Amino acid sequence: MSTLKAVRGTRDLLPPETALWNRIEATARRVFERYNFGEIRTPVFEDTALFARGVGEETDIVSKEMYTWEDRARAASEKTQSLTLRPENTAGVVRAYIEHKLGETGQLQKLYYIGPQFRRERPQKGRYRQFSQIGAEVIGPPSAGSESPLRDAEVLEMLATLLDELGITGWTLHLNSVGSSADRARYNEVLRAALADVAPKMCGDCQRRAVTNPLRVLDCKVPEDQPIIEALPKIDSVLGEDSKAHFAAVLAALDTAGVPYERNLRLVRGLDYYTRTTFEFTHGGLGAQNALLGGGRYDGLSEAIGGPKAPGIGFAMGEDRLVLTLQAIEEAKAVKGDAYIAPLGESMNPAALKLARELRREGLKVELGDGSFRLKKSFEAADKVARRIVILGEDELASGILTVKEFASGTQTKVPRAELVDVLSK
């Protein structure tokens, strides 16, 4: 008899790895609690119509990735029903919000979940058919302030805090606004018109999307299509005044709170229900599947599945990817030093020794390069022995602001000397 194995795209999690999963979940619960979120647990399968209406018929998830079956009737009085293993949890949470009339409390509902999701995707590193998401939603009637840009900013600030507490350094927050549903509809038409001429030169997926859901063309990763996509009209050009003001208020709150972000005009996200703010956190250490988490605002979702007006914002983090990222960080920490100091030119050697001395006296593991090395050679040498390279040239010495590159994530930042020890010890 052939031996039976776990189904393709599914995995067993064994100790000691399960300890890391537990630590991630405990940290998430602790942080969510501090922000006054409560846990919700919804069923693992739902009526197929929930996802068709809530996520969108034209999305990849609904059109080709769902595990759907006709549930047999057990008695003559029962009807067969189309059921689906949940591919994501936001639709289920909003269904529960409607079913239990949570909006009638008049309060903002702040709910988080942790659990398995199912999508029939092509398995690869960081992409599985059963995977776990940690997510949260802030939803409620407009009178409870659910539309306020402060809610968007607070969720993003919470995510930055959670990633920091998990010990995930070097993430990037990509932020965009896809506008109201009217703005989106207008943008879809602008794109449809712009794509009419160029779509035949694009990949098969784009040709199909150019007709069914032009916005999704912006998600295409095929290299040959990129110049065409870059030349398409940008979403900014169609955003209404309300959407612009909302987004500006989100950015202003993030700036004041000190949460760094990058504007990404192409970030439209795969699910149809998003409106206004959309975001993604990525990490360079993950390879091709580099999204740690994604989310956004979904002001019309409740109505789309038959509920009252209940604007909301939420996100889902891929727990499998958090684990992969933390494993890569821990591995690098175990074998590599904290920093490699690269003096730019031999005249910088004495200052580099001084900096190395100061950092080592703070307990950091530091390797010292040599000013006679070309920068490329320094980078190669540094990547072998340290997690980060610190570049020390005339400018850095004069300004006291150093250039630090983290190899795992590929991010390069300017760090004031006073903050260097903190940054390098992470």
Residue 269, marked binder: yes
- By residue count, the chain amounts to 426
Strand 130-139 to 312-318 pairing: antiparallel
SS3 353: helix
Q: How far apart are CA 50 and CA 92, in angstroms?
A: 8
Beta strands across the sheet bearing 81-85: 45-47, 81-85, 68-71
Using the minimum distance from each CB to ligand AMP, give the nearer residue, 184 or 387. Answer: 184
Residue 357, marked binder: no
Q: Which helix (H) or strand (E) holds 94?
A: helix 90-99
Residue 281: phi and psi, rounded to 5, are: -110, 130
Smallest distance from ligand AMP to CB 363, Å: 34
Closest of 339, 322, 330 to residue 405, by C-alpha = 339
Is the previous residue joined to 16 through a cis bond, with omega within 30 degrees of 0? Answer: yes
Smallest distance from ligand AMP to CB 294, Å: 4
Closest of 11, 22, 60 to residue 323, by C-alpha = 22
Smallest distance from ligand AMP to CB 88, Å: 4
Please identify the residue of the shown chain whose CB is closest to the bound ligand AMP: 318
- H helices present in 225-363, as ranges: 226-230, 241-257, 301-304, 319-335, 349-361
Residue 90, marked binder: yes
**Contact residues: ligand AMP, CB under 6 A:** 88, 119, 121, 126-128, 131, 133, 270, 291-294, 316, 318, 320-321
Residue 340, marked binder: no
Smallest distance from ligand AMP to CB 291, Å: 4
Using the minimum distance from each CB to ligand AMP, give the nearer residue, 274 or 340. Answer: 274
Using the minimum distance from each CB to ligand AMP, give the nearer residue, 294 or 371. Answer: 294
Residue 133, marked binder: yes
Neighbouring residues of 244: CB distance < 8 A, sequence distance ≥ 6: 177
DSSP state for residue 79 in the 8-state scheme: P
Using the minimum distance from each CB to ligand AMP, give the nearer residue, 217 or 271. Answer: 271
CA dihedral 141, 113, 276, 290 (to 10 degrees): 180
Annotate 117-131 with b (16+ C-beta within 10 A) or e (fewer). bbbbbeeeebbbbbb
CA dihedral 104, 106, 107, 108 (to 10 degrees): 80
Q: How far apart are CA 396 and CA 393, in angstroms?
A: 5
Using the minimum distance from each CB to ligand AMP, give the nearer residue, 127 or 186. Answer: 127
Check the CA dihedral 351-393-381-334 and report its sign: positive
Smallest distance from ligand AMP to CB 104, Å: 28
Using the minimum distance from each CB to ligand AMP, give the nearer residue, 65 or 362. Answer: 65
Using the minimum distance from each CB to ligand AMP, give the nearer residue, 95 or 321. Answer: 321
Residue 119, marked binder: yes
Smallest distance from ligand AMP to CB 205, Å: 16
Smallest distance from ligand AMP to CB 293, Å: 5
Smallest distance from ligand AMP to CB 73, Å: 32
Using the minimum distance from each CB to ligand AMP, give the nearer residue, 292 or 301. Answer: 292
Smallest distance from ligand AMP to CB 175, Å: 15
Neighbouring residues of 366: CB distance < 8 A, sequence distance ≥ 6: 337, 338, 339, 340, 341, 356, 359, 360, 386
Whether 414 contacts 402, CB under 8 Å: yes
Residue 349, marked binder: no
Q: Kindly report the CA angle at 170 between 168 and 171, in degrees rounded to 5?
A: 80
> Which residues are part of a known binding site?
88-90, 119, 133, 137, 269, 273-274
> Which residues are part of a known binding site for L-histidine?
88-90, 119, 133, 137, 269, 273-274
